[in-house]
Structure 1
Amino acid sequence: MGERQIPDQAYYGIQTLRAIENFPISCIKPLPTYIDACILIKKATAIVNGELGCIPPEVGQAIVQATDEVLKGKFRDQFVVDIYQAGAGTSHHMNINEVLANRALEILGDEKGNYKRVSPNDHVNYGQSTNDVIPTAIRIGGLLALSHTLHPSLESAIETLKFKAREFQNVIKSGRTHLQDAVPVRLGENFSAWAQILSEHHDRIYSASGDLMVLGLGGSAVGTGLNTHPQYRARVVRVLSELTSLPLQTAPHLMAAMQSMAPFVNVSGALRNLAQDLVKISHDLRLMDSGPKTGLKEIQLPPVQPGSSIMPGKYNPVMAEMMSMVCFQVMGYDSAIALAAQAGQLELNVMMPLIAYNLIHSIEILGNAVASLSKRSIKGILVKQERCLAYAEGSLALVTALNKHIGYLNAAAVAKESLETGKSLRQIVLDKGLMTDEELSKVLNLEKMSQILNLS
């Protein structure tokens, strides 16, 4: 395609330069975790190809040294290809290959660009293809993001919710269904329920991530392993497992592993499922903190920043609001991943760059958001106990406990009269002679009514 001038300070090469020119789309560059995943793959392949004699040992060692430098944070500004780019991720892949080749040349005392000595294609990329490297990088990147962000954040949030559940276990409040009065509940049980919900999501995501452990690396261009050493496939997965401390395994069918995006759709769906419940929890927190004078105000979320540029003294449930926004983004990413996953043709899915960014970004922003919500909001929640009790005592839904004693229709009539006259349920039942005061005291016991039945 002709020659081009590369900036002296650049470690990338002409293929990266053409991608920069072709794809000035979003100004969004590859995620650091995704870069790490690609670099780890290149380190493993250089080690194995050097051991097998597929590339000169000194070249393999130089490439490994270059990968170590990148993993320690160097040359990060050299990975510059927009996330919306050439299908399958060839542009990003060659950006990785070129940077490592040029740095390896420097390590060997040679000049950048002397690709006869170290070639991005013939050495850094020996026995590889974008078509098996990129789906492997998405798997590794997703696993790294889960282990570094989302799983620890969920585990910490679950423990925080359990702590608040114990703290609020004796706080009685009105339940609400359809946003209308319902029978009493314990505030602590609300938090306990949320902890259980997040725990179940944690398990679902962990289970779904098992599919990411199965790698198609070694399939080369279309899954046949063309241009690879017979021992390469098994050895490179073993080395990559050691580098990542993950129990990786080679796929039983390389072509299938390279073509199907199902593992990514599965994980993304689990993330979307979590996001939907996190939205519900964050909305609950906002409702329970609404006010302070004209809302429920059963709890107080920590005021972490001023809430208005014009209304003095106002604060907003900003952490819960942030959580919802992140969840909506994750749901959007999931829809895009689903569309991209079914858009492959024949031996390749060319939408992998979109899947890579959306999946890893979903994991990381969910993890960061959960950690922030837990640390800066849930951990510091205070309860307005008197207000909670007042709502519970004033709820017409208490009449539900009278059903088996006076019948549903009588109970409905009592509730209607209470609402119309302002009289208490107790007073109306006594006036009508439906129950004695002693019987009512036993039945309308909020402590007993709000306890969860133990069926064991």
Structure 2
Amino acid sequence: MTATVTGPHRVEHDLLGDREVPAEAYYGVHTLRAVENFPITGTPISAHTELVVALACVKQAAAQANHELGLLDRRRADAIVRACQEIRAGHLHDEFVVDVIQGGAGTSSNMNANEVVANRALELLGHPRGHYAELHPLEHVNLSQSTNDAYPTAVRIALQIGARQLRTTLTVLADAFSAKVVEFAPVVKMGRTQLQDAVPMTLGQEFGAFAVTIREDVERLGEACRLLLEINLGGTAIGTGLNAPEQYAATVCARLRDLTDLPLTTAVDLVEATWDVGAFVQLSGVLKRIAVKLSKICNDLRLLSSGPRTGLGEINLPAVQAGSSIMPGKVNPVIPEAVNQVAFRVIGHDTTVTLAAEGGQLQLNAFEPVIAHSLLDSLSLLTSACWTLTERCVTGITANADHLRHGVAHSIGTVTALNPSIGYTAATAVAAEALATGRGVRELVLERGLLSEAELDLLLSPERLALGPAGPGPFGGGQPTEGTSVTQRVSGS
């Protein structure tokens, strides 16, 4: 579909001829054609603020490097830098209008950035938009670059920004679960395997495991991000550095390090780095891992809070909204359900990234736009989900302690603790009779004369059962060791 400009316009020229561009637009003819060519999702790249900021960082670093190497005069370089600084500060983001899904390996996104920066720089120099004889999107803003090194570098920086936000919210969520370790340390309950009674534990132990597993993923995310610090900027089209001066790669990387405060390095083999998207696959796998774990935790929260009268009913999730248009009084676990759905989306994105990475051919992967969109969307969704889960659910969870204790007292799972004293065969017989008759384990052991009351008091103490052989701690489940809080031990601090 060809767009028709009905209002004031300017005429711009490209390989395919002349086109009318809205006079007020900071983008130009290349962006206009991309908007016409890719009406795919309706989501512009400006939806990913991190990517727009990262593109501006790349263009600013390039202008600084080109001036330092004598390729770009001070007047044009300063104007480009000022335009990029404005974009990094949040201005003109609505001018980044090309669709997130586009052909051309990101060329349209790069052209969009070149044109917006050029037209704003022209204004700063006192010239009208589109007056490219004074400052050109490709001759000056894109100098010493190709889409194939500028765009992947911007994507890597954008992912670093998004991952930093996710690591922060994951840590906050882990802290919320750690607080529940302390709160629920005295609450004894039955642990379950395969949905059947297993052995006693504390509710604090259960929530402590949630905290530990989330902190593990904070570390895995950091490891994946370190792989994204290697960039191919300076490699230009296929990694050979054609049309860039010898010192450009090192110079632009140094300027980009200064701008982003990231320890970026230039890849040793720029040809390999131009087509290799392994770091994106690695990050995607970690995001899937996070999503799977979060979804499992939310499954547990929904199951443990099921009821309120006919389910497990061990914990209470905060009531945040009415649950039904037909059933009065019903309250659903809507926050964990929302996080489950985020996880499903992230898992799907991982499949997309995997296929797009495999689909690359020869010296370039043409599918980096969908890789970038998938990863940035996953980071954003997970960040929002973690924040919502923390604020709207975890911090307000309460325990039904009496109900949990009653379950421990009447569970045949406690017979496991008697194995060392009465033997597996005798313990099995007690368990079978208890299950068949509804009588308690303690009552049957005394009746059979297998142990004394004093011995049973010791062996079946709920607190002792929850401690287990691991002793006190988030895995042993008892009270904190002297001088160390449960929160400290869960967090590793």
- Common fold, TM-score beyond 0.5? yes
Is the aligned partner of 1:437 residue 2:453?
yes
- Give the C-alpha shift of residue 59 in structure 1: 1.0
**Alignment counterpart, residue 104 of structure 1, candidates 100, 117, 121:** 121
**TM-score (structure 1 length as normaliser):** 0.97
Partner of 2:50: 33
Q: Secondary structure at the match of 2:197?
A: strand
Aligned amino acid, residue 368 of structure 1: S
Is 1:62 matched with 2:40? Answer: no
Q: After TM superposition, which residue ranges in structure 1, 4 or more long, deviate above 6 angstroms?
A: none
Residue of structure 2 in register with 1:186 after alignment: 202
Task: State the AA in 1 paired with 2:332.
Answer: N
Residue identity matched to 1:181: D
Q: Deviations over 1:205-237 (max 9, x none)?
A: 101111111111000011011111222111111
Q: Which of 397, 403, 426 is matched with 1:410 structurally?
A: 426
- Does the alignment pair 1:76 with 2:84? no
Q: Which residue of the partner structure matches residue 19 of structure 2?
A: 4
RMSD across aligned positions (CA): 1.3
In the alignment, is the contact (CA less than 8 A) between 1:83 and 1:357 conserved in 2?
yes
CA distance in 2, matches of 1:455, 1:250: 50
**Match for 2:464: what amino acid?**
K
**CA deviation vs aligned residue, 1:389-423 (integer Å, no higher than 9, x gap):** 11111111111112222222221221121122111
Aligned to 2:185: 169
Structure 2 matches for 1:123-202, cutoff 5 A?
Answer: 123-147=140-164, 149-202=165-218
Q: How does 1:45-444 map to 2 (within 5 A)?
A: 45-147=62-164, 149-444=165-460
Match of 2:462 among 415, 436, 446: 446
**Count of aligned pairs:** 455
Q: 1:115 is aligned with what amino acid?
A: Y
CA distance in structure 2 between the aligned counterparts of 1:57 and 1:306, rounded to whole angstroms: 63
Partner of 1:42: 59
Question: How many Å apart are 1:178 and its aligned residue?
Answer: 0.4
Separation of aligned partners in 1, 2:245 and 2:325 = 65
Secondary structure (helix, strand or coil) at the match of 1:6 reads: strand
Q: Which residue is 2:489 aligned to?
A: none
SS in 1 for 2:361: coil
Instruction: Supply the distance in 2 between the matched residues of 1:28 and 1:441 (Cα, whole angstroms).
Output: 65
Identity %: 45
Q: Which amino acid aligns with 1:146?
A: A
Q: Distance in 2 between matches of 1:323 and 1:453?
A: 35
Given that 1:132 and 1:218 are in contact with CA atoms closer than 8 Å, whether structure 2 keeps it comes out as yes
Instruction: Report how far residue 452 of structure 1 moved.
Output: 4.1
> d(CA) in 1 for partners of 2:469 and 2:219?
26
Query: Residues 235-255 of structure 1, C-alpha deviation per residue, up to 9 Å, x if partnerless?
Result: 111111111111111111111
Q: CA deviation at 1:455?
A: 7.0
* TM-aligned CA deviation for residue 321 of structure 1: 0.9
Using a 3 Å threshold, how does the CA distance of structure 1 residues 273 and 392 change in structure 2: closer, same or farther?
Answer: same
SS in 2 for 1:236: helix
Alpha-carbon distance between aligned partners in 2 of 1:153 and 1:453, rounded to the nearest angstrom: 34
Q: Is the 1:150–1:366 contact (alpha carbons within 8 Å) kept by the matching residues of 2?
A: yes
3-state DSSP of counterpart to 1:450: helix
Q: CA deviation at 1:291?
A: 0.9
Contact 1:51 1:57 in 2 (8 A): no
In 2, distance between residues paired with 1:203 and 1:169? Answer: 26
Contact 1:87–1:352 (Cα < 8 Å) also in 2? no
Q: Which amino acid aligns with 2:351?
A: S
Q: Structure 1 stretches of 5 or more lacking a match?
A: none
Gaps of 5+ in 2: 1-15, 473-493
- Please list the CA deviations of residues 3-23 of structure 1 after superposition, one character each: whole Å capped at 9, or x if unmatched: 111112211111111111111
What TM-score results when the alignment is normalised by the length of structure 2? 0.90
